[in-house]
Amino acid sequence: MSTPVHRTSPPQPVAAPTAARRRDRGRAGSPSGNPAQRALLGIQSSAGNRAATAAVQRARDTANGKAPEKAAENGNAAAGRQNYRDRIAAILDRVKKNFEFIDTFVKGVHVPANTGFAQQASATANEGLKHSAASSGTAAVSENLVTETTGAVLSGMEAAKARKDAKKHGDGAAFHTADKKSTTKTADAVVGAAGAGAYALGIAKELTKVQKAANAMAVTEASGVGSGAVGAVKGVRAASRFGLTARKYHALKGLEKPERADEAALARLNQARQDAEWAAAEAYVALDLQWDHEGEGRLERVSGAIDAAWAAMGEARDAAVDLRRAEDANTMNTVHAYALGKQRNKMGKQALTAVGESTKAAGGAVTAVAATAGGAGLASNPVGWGLAAGAAGLILGVAAYKAGRAGKKRYDGARHPDRWAAEGQTPAEPASREDALKEALKFWKKVENGERQAMARKIYGLAAGPGIPGSGSTAAEMRSSARALLIALKAGPDHHRLSPEEWADSLNDPAKSAAWLKEIAEQLSSA
């Protein structure tokens, strides 16, 4: 990458360097005897006056003792490395999502069915079927290994980036988002690496069956122990997440939720506001008439008109405040119910995952025990087969639920882009039903502007200080309720390493609005 040129003087006309070169040649019959000048003139001859001007400028800077802008070069190099890492992470993320789509089918359908065939082959001593099942199992576990390894590497990269972001911010909403992601992704990387090791043992187990190796029982035992251990770790982790989510749910449940104002009440409040504003306008018209009207008692009439206009403006202001309070109460009720619903759904998914992974661990234990007893392991044990099928069914059900919800969100985002659009933002054109269905099938894409992001904006609008546009008219008690909701969502001062005063100031800082919106959206869906 070439060093950027910063000119300090206007470039010379094209003819000027050419004329100088001709004068030099006329005097000596060749270019100037100075080596540096000869080099610059050679550059000019080969690349033209523009390149020569740039080289001359660099030479002048060097001659004047100006060091090259290493900081800019280092910055560009760092940005290049950052972009390179981001591109690798994006590629791995795309690969992981594509493999996960296949992996879900393999774990939920292929593995239980293949295990059933292996069990039948062992029970009937069908060597051909046993060999085919082992070959099919090798391919399935190989796919599992690729998916798990890709996920572990990606989680490690994301954890490293999140740690750097957390260290850079030090405190505040941006710090907590990065710090929590660092912890989660580090655990994902460790569990993924352990899972990859278990799948490697699984491949070895299937290959020993294919080759009819003498040490098949030992490898089967090791594979069962590895699979059971990883399943147990994942089950414990899911149970821990269930507990964390349950605590957040109960904290949210303990908050007082404002009563909703029905549509009729809102309509009455809105009509009262309009009537008050109309009365205030009429009072100001009357004030103007009295002001222009000459005659006896003019000052008294003007004074009375001013009092009437002032009273009308006060009534209009009070009516607007009442309407705003009712609307904010409805908004608070909505976001509170949404937050509770998110935590309930997460508890359900974590509970099913914990049961599924625990069942998978039990299946691995059955494999190890059967291999130790001299049997054919999971393939010849109906109990182990049933456990594997049950675990696969639960895990497949959770994965299918997640995929279905994500697809519906992508469909709604394309079909109804105005539904969750930010206030003041021009939504995109609604897609046709066919295009929306195509968008829903893009399982590798994240929902960028869905319901969760819209709820995060609503919560921040209620909790933010008066310095944030649109939040200045929020009542103090409503702002306090919204901030209590943030604390229940684990986005309070303690989690951000801030004092309560610093935390409140950060909510009132427009420069930190983006970090707050990201933080709230993350906390709505996390444990």
Confidence of residue 39 (pLDDT cuts 50, 70, 90): very low
Mean pLDDT, residues 430-444: 80
CB 252 within 8 A of CB 485: yes
User: What domain range is 211 assigned to?
Assistant: 82-257+352-400
Rounded distance, CA 31 to CA 26, Å?
Answer: 9
- Same domain, residue pair 373 and 231: yes
pLDDT in tens, 335-356: 999 999 999 988 988 888 787 7
* Residue 389: both structure tokens together: 């099928």
- Same domain, residue pair 381 and 457: no
The total of other beta-carbon atoms located within 10 Å of residue 27's CB is 9
What was the pLDDT predicted at 485? 95
- Same domain, residue pair 222 and 251: yes
pLDDT in tens, 455-478: 999 999 999 988 898 888 888 999
What was the pLDDT predicted at 9? 39
- Same domain, residue pair 59 and 125: no
Confidence of residue 55 (pLDDT cuts 50, 70, 90): very low
Using a cut of 0.85, tell me whether the model's pTM lies above it.
no
- Same domain, residue pair 101 and 47: no
3-state secondary structure 433-452: HHHHHHHHCCCCCCCCCCHH
Quick check: is 308 in a domain?
no
- Same domain, residue pair 360 and 479: no
What was the pLDDT predicted at 343? 93
What was the pLDDT predicted at 520? 95
Neighbouring residues of 120: CB distance < 8 A, sequence distance ≥ 6:
126, 129
Question: Minimum mean pLDDT among 104-108, 208-212, 379-383: which range?
Answer: 379-383
Mean pLDDT, residues 6-24: 38
- Same domain, residue pair 208 and 98: yes
- Same domain, residue pair 456 and 521: yes
- The sign of the CA dihedral 241, 150, 216, 113 is positive
What was the pLDDT predicted at 391? 59
- Same domain, residue pair 165 and 32: no
